[in-house]
Amino acid sequence: VRDRVEYQVLPLIERSVSFAVPSIEFDGTLRGLPYIGYRMLPGRALRASDVPSPVTTSDLANLVFELHSVPVDDVAGVLGESREPSQWKARYRRLEDGAKSRLSEVLPSHLRSGVAEGFERFFSAGFAFDPVLVHGDLGASHILVEESGGLVGLLDFEAVAIGDPAVDFVGVQITLGSDTCAQVLEAYPGPVDEGFGERVLGYWWIGSLQAIPHGLDEGDGAIVQSGIAGLHERLARLFDR
């Protein structure tokens, strides 16, 4: 299903941005599984060592802003999602409810308390954003750069959605560090509401929480334990413990 979404939404993004995105040329089924394909885009994955030279934090901020400036009306029909902040927030309320029911047996009591405290802090940040088109997984490995330093493209739109612009700063924080993320956010030309930075932190720690039910679903204890370790580390950093 997400392959079909990418197939339809990428041409709409491509006509609105100056950087390259996948232009899908192949679409079919192989051995009962759907696939899409596109020609290799120019450039290589961004590295942390590329910032602040030759890639500046302003370069990154402008790239994110350009994506967020894609007209929402152009893509809403394809994505079929509510653009209301209240609906976006409700998704995380459901995630919180699911975490309480599914993770009670695998999380120690101090982490369950930390998760509850973390969600309380996350929801108290407020959700006063203007919904935009978000990449949903905007880490360094999905940002393409020329050797000379110019940003040339974005990859992997599997998580593309209409939602909170703050979510696109999480991958920057994880892959490039909190200091760089703060500088990119400071240079971001788009509107930044009062709770924006706090929601970035919320999406950051919640990402480690989401790895745990995925590991349970896959029956992979290593993923579960890695998720628990990541959750412990991020909550400790969140609350400076």
pLDDT attached to residue 81: 73
pLDDT attached to residue 1: 44
| C-alpha span between 173 and 42 (Å, rounded) | 24
Side-chain half-sphere exposure of 47, counting CA atoms within 13 A:
9
| C-alpha span between 10 and 14 (Å, rounded) | 6
The per-residue pLDDT string of the chain (241 residues; one tens digit each, 9 = 90 and over) reads: 455 788 889 999 999 999 999 988 887 888 888 777 888 899 999 999 999 999 999 999 999 999 999 999 999 999 887 778 999 999 999 999 998 888 888 999 999 999 999 999 999 999 999 999 999 999 999 999 998 879 999 999 989 999 999 999 999 999 999 999 999 999 999 999 999 999 999 999 999 999 999 899 999 999 999 999 999 999 999 998 6
pLDDT attached to residue 241: 67
| C-alpha span between 230 and 162 (Å, rounded) | 27
Distances (CA, A) of 215 to 13, 159, 203, 218: 33, 19, 19, 5
pLDDT attached to residue 5: 81
| C-alpha span between 95 and 214 (Å, rounded) | 13
The tokens for 149 are: 């330093």
pLDDT attached to residue 80: 81
The tokens for 101 are: 């029911």
pLDDT attached to residue 6: 82
